[in-house]
Amino acid sequence: MAAFISVLFDGIAYGSLLFVISVGMSVTLGLMRFVNLAHGAFAMFGGYVAYELVNRAGLSLFVALPVLLVGFAAVGAVLERVLYRWVSRTRPLDQVLLTIGVAFIATAIATWIWGPDQHSIALPAALKRQLHVFGLDLNVYRLFLIAMIVAITAVLHVLIERTRFGAQLRAAVDHPEAAAGLGIPVDRVFGLSFALGSGLAAVGGALGVEVLGLDPSFTFKYMVYFLLVVVVGGQGSIVGSAIAAISLGVFDVVGKYYVPGAGAFLIYALMVILLLVFPHGLIRRGR
């Protein structure tokens, strides 16, 4: 039983990471129907930059995270402006091709600068400890991950449900044309949410080095997971994405622990089944 709870705990922590990385994509995909296969590249570079900041420059991970959030939001805003905007209203095929191109370039750059080997980040001492609660061994790092998802979900929820920007965002997700007709700057809302999503992905990537690993194949390796969170969760739905991410994380970790022979097979099977049962995601925003 204790073993099961500890595996479950790992799964939830893993799912939290998937959520932090994918939530930005959920918004942009829901908002613009923009298929971004290169979203994981932000997480990957977030991990590498965190490696430089923490291991080379000697910063604490806690200091590096806000830097990453702001820095990558700026990078995301620029990239959206110079590249993605050109295809944001075209066929899914063009978006798929362009973002696969970006993912290839990201992989090449990462290999070029950091080489093909795995990198890891020195965790702050505060996160390395184990907690003993009710006879269970809880890893503080994983608790921290779960706390992060709760905090981020809460902040995003307030941002989307309580602010003017959030109202514009919801209107634009529900009906872009009508929202534009009412004078909502849909392009700018899209750009801002893209930037925010990029920043969050970088934070998720930095946090996730311990769990997800960090090497140049990252973008393609986890592409499916990020897409899956968004598609299963329902596009543009924060709560749906959170539920999807955590169930996915738990399912994957529990599956790999109890049925090691099946490997990633279970997760892909789950993916196909979920797509068939919930073609519009778990939580469908009113349309």
Partner 1 sequence: MTAAAGARAAPSTGLPDDRWTRWDTALWLAPIVAFAVFSDRLELGRDVVIAALFALSLDIVLGYTGVVSLGHAAFFGLGAYTAGLLAHHGWGEPLTGLVCAAAVAAVAGYATSFLVVRGAALGQLMITLGVGLLLHEAANKAHALTGGVDGLGDIVMWRLAGVFRFDLEGRTAYLYSLVVTFAAFLLVRRVLSSPFGLSLRAIREGMARMPALGVPVGRRLVAAFTLAAALAGIAGGLQAQSARVVTLDVLSFERSATVLIMLVLGGAGRMYGAFIGAGLFMLARDYLARKDPVYWQLWIGGLLIVVVLLARGGILGLVETLRARRRTP
Q: Rule CB under 8 A: which residues touch partner 1? A: 29, 33, 35, 83, 86-87, 89-94, 96-98, 100-109, 111-112, 220, 224, 227-228, 231, 261-265, 268-269, 271-272, 275-276, 279
In terms of phi and psi (left: phi > 0; alpha: psi -120 to 50; beta: otherwise), the region of 3 is: alpha
Shortest spacing between CB 92 and partner 1, in angstroms: 4
Least distance from C-beta 62 to partner 1, angstroms? 34
Buried b (16+ CB within 10 A) or exposed e, 98-126: bbeebbeebbeebeeebeeeebebebeee
- Least separation in angstroms between CB 85 and partner 1: 11
Q: Which two tokens stand for residue 249?
A: 């994380």
Nearest in space to 228 (alpha carbons), one of 282, 175, 174: 282
Backbone angles phi, psi at 252, to 5 degrees: -65, -50
Nearer to partner 1, 165 or 251 (CB): 251
Least distance in angstroms from the C-beta of 96 to partner 1: 6
Nearer to partner 1, 34 or 144 (CB): 34
In terms of CB distance, is 105 or 151 closer to partner 1?
105
Half-sphere exposure of 53 toward its Cβ, with a 13 Å CA cutoff?
Answer: 21
Q: How far apart are CA 209 and CA 42, in angstroms?
A: 13
Question: Considering beta carbons, is residue 193 or 235 the nearer one to partner 1?
Answer: 235
Q: To the nearest whole angstrom, how small is the minimum distance from the Cβ of residue 2 to partner 1?
A: 29
Q: Which residues neighbour 123 within 8 Å (Cβ) at sequence distance 6 or greater?
A: 61, 141, 210
- Are 17 and 208 in contact by the 8 Å Cβ rule? The answer is yes
Q: Whose Cβ is closer to partner 1: residue 62's or residue 86's?
A: 86
Q: Could you tell me which residues come within 8 angstroms of residue 85 by beta carbon, excluding any fewer than 6 positions away?
A: 187, 191
Least distance in angstroms from the C-beta of 131 to partner 1 = 36
Nearer to partner 1, 100 or 138 (CB): 100
